[in-house]
Chains A and B, each alone.
Chain A
Amino acid sequence: MKAICTEVPDRMYGEVKSLVNSGWFRNEDDLILEALRRFLDTHKVELMEQYIREDVEWGLHGKD
């Protein structure tokens, strides 16, 4: 499991805190994980394209 450290604009962080404080999420981690999951859900094509390019390299030049 990787930990990601990043800077969040104050206003955005305020919205995060507000959602957590009002009980929509257990904590900030849960909210960020959910946001990331949704991002990945909607960006699978781009991710897939990157993976396919890596696959092309492995397929043509890999050692195993």
Chain B
Amino acid sequence: MEKIKGYNAAVCDAGPVIHLDELGSLDLLSDFHPLLISKTVQSEIIKHRPTALKSAGFKIKLVDLIAPQGPRLSVLSKALSLDQGELESLSVAQEMPGVFFLTDDAAARLAGEELGCKVHGTIGIILRAIRNKMKTPQEVVGLLNQIPSKTTLFLRPALLEEITQKVKKEYSL
């Protein structure tokens, strides 16, 4: 695979793309350069959100599976029962020190952290939009409120409320 470098380079699993698209906020991923997804992840996204990638409005780089994955990832994938998309994403990410790995899956996150990636999910990306001036605090609260009704992202209601209150307190809303 060619060496890919970028200040905010990220490898993205299907979850954040699907969940942000459900919220109409896929543009929040445009802040990551380059944004890489594997072909299996692309297939997963197309299966759940057929038009998400076409209507993204920013460049998403498709990458081929790197094989073999190396012993660490091989063991991690078996131990954590990672699916093919997660495995492909992590095999790309482990070649890029300090890269963001964006996922909403706990097991994939565990593996990503083990491999030295900066791992974050949909909630973090949404909140980050405030400090990156991509959304106002009010807009972010609005997005958080829409999560239960508009998305397939599972979040305990009390935890979501806690996050919403934290944002409101942080920005005096």
Listed in ascending order, the chain A residues whose CB lies under 8 Å from chain B are 1-2, 33, 36-37, 40-41, 44-45, 47-49, 51-52, 54-56, 58-60, 62, 64
Contacts and interface: CB of A to CB of B under 8 A. Distances in A.
7 contacts: A48-B104, A49-B156, A52-B155, A55-B124, A55-B127, A56-B124, A60-B130
Interface residues on B, range: 20 to 34
Give the most central of B81, B118, B123, B155: most A CB within 10 Å.
Answer: B123
Contacts, number: 72
Nearest to A61: B131
B67 interface: no
Q: DSSP majority for the B interface?
A: helix
Contacts of B100: 64
Interface centre among A1, A47, A56 (most CB of B within 10 A): A56
A36 B80 CA distance: 9
Given A56-B127, A56-B163, A44 B121 contact: no
